[in-house]
Structure 1
Amino acid sequence: MAATDIGIDLGTASILVYLKGKGVVLKEPSVVAFDRDTNKIKAIGEEARLMLGRTPGNIVAVRPLRQGVISDYTVTEKMIKYFIQKALGKRTYRKPRMSVCVPSGVTEVEKRAVEDAAYAAGAREVYIIEEPIAAAIGAGIDISRPCGNMIVDIGGGTADIAVISLGGSVVSTSIKVAGDNFDEALVRYMRKKHNLLIGERTAEDMKINIGTCYPLSTPETMNVRGRNLVTGLPKTIEVSSEETEEALREPTAQIVEAVHSVLEKTPPELAADVADRGIILTGGGALLRGLEELMEERTGINTMTAEDPMTCVAIGTGKYVEFMAGNHDLSQP
């Protein structure tokens, strides 16, 4: 039986598994719920996400990856194992080759932790690939050519920005400002402006439904439920998209700032390519409305979002194994 090639996008917010020939077979939130008393895992993925902020004392729902880095090693390992088994089913005899994606700023130690977790979860070989490169492959860019492409990959915990040419990144930066920070900004704003305390999940719903970082032509509204901090009682408030724009101003500005700093460090030939070809947004954070317009307004460079920004990195990670195999083939006469 042929060995399977698996690509895993280990995200702070969600984990995607790509199988060669099948595409993305699994996409689940990276949340694990376990019982403190027995140390047994209760639920993983979507089931555990529903428990966030709603658990009794002995059960904790945690996200083992914080800002793109493994913060709880054993839980991460179990989670990877669970997702691989779920994706492959029980029919595998040979250990798979795995490529796992990490943010571009991670240290060697953090890379090792990811590698060890993948081997422990049953990999035969592990390739570690940097997020912007995976995102570029997944967005359908031929990264082996000698021309510059700029990728802005906004995930849950980190935003990776890189200018890629000849299969590697020339200038890159990774900042810990991304989807989670958008949520936090909304939580802070609601507390300050409306004295309303809301949870992570409510903030995320807000971001998805009415979140924007550029004024919309027709403002939208939504009812947000939470706890009133003055009376201590549950309360519902109507919030408009204009308010989310105000709340998200700071984190989005930080991402634009990082893009700016990467452009400043880019060699002139590549910078010219980028101005020509535009900036490509990938990752779940790219789904935030108004990002393209904001980026264009601030940099003056045409910005577009990849076709399916959520799965770009996973597809690219999966294809990277083939890309590597292809590279090895080229060297033979």
Structure 2
Amino acid sequence: MRPETPHILAVRHAVRDWLDRFPHDRLAVALSGGADSLALTAAAVAEAQSVRALVVDHRLQEGSAAVARSAAQCALELGCIEAEVLTVSVGTVGGMEAAARRARYDALDTARAGMPVLLGHTLDDQAETVLLGLSRGSGGRSIQGMRDYDDPWGRPLLKVRRDTTHRACVDLGVQPHQDPHNERSEFTRVRLRAEVLPLLDDVLGGGVAAALARTGEQLREDGDVLDHLAHQLAESAAVDDQLDVAVLQSAPPALRRRAIRVWLLRGGATSLTAEHLYGIDRLVSHWRGQGGVAVPGGTPEARLVTSRSRGRLILGLQVDDRYVDSREID
């Protein structure tokens, strides 16, 4: 890294602190060509022994290949030992934002060669993530935001403001790419960034992004403790891949629902919502002989259903209200 201005040093110190907590000699950096990932790449080169840049070309805009090549060249000039362009095909399921994200993470995971991948998410991104989670209304887990290390994804810049990374790029003399998608108001995150957070700052007197990020961090710490206790409760209640209702009934509702979630995920459930968990919790706390609760994770031929029988919660595939072994419907 060439000059050592306050903005450059702020990014470097964030990367250095991350490496102190999660030591790695070899790193990959997801480089979009934007200011956040460029500043991160420069800092990683200065702080780590070996850095490889991974540039994803989503092919969603005219000229995207040239943008990707330019970002890769910049990475080499900053000192990366290698810069690889990953060309992906973006589907349509869940909307363009979600589909692009899936394609990007799949490509990065395939190309990372066992290295952690650093992502340029900043404190501002964290605040937007917490707000988006709040809108879903699915409990504390949805507003915990992003972790600084969720193997293999590293996020060293979660306490660095977006303005700092932009100013670092100016100090470095590099020109970030301005993604036109970041100006499109049909994207919820763009409107949060351009309209909602500035309004909240105006109404509440500033500091909203930092407060949201701090709230997410506190909730993650609390959530880790509750998750640990929930795993213990799930183990205590487990009987032959089922859950003993009597054991669950003795636990506080919040802990009981977390234990049920642990058990469901182990059984193959996916994309669980608060509605699923509260519905299954009623099989424990308000049992009236009601039917089972379907959860995501089944097959085209059978639903994945949780029901109560003989004092236990049972999770299994169900065809026409009849539980079947998964081998029967292969």
TM-score (norm 1): 0.25
Q: Which has the higher contact order (CA 8 A, sep 6+)?
A: 1
Between Structure 1 and Structure 2, which shows a larger proportion of strand residues? 1
Larger Rg: 2
Between Structure 1 and Structure 2, which shows a larger proportion of helix residues? 2
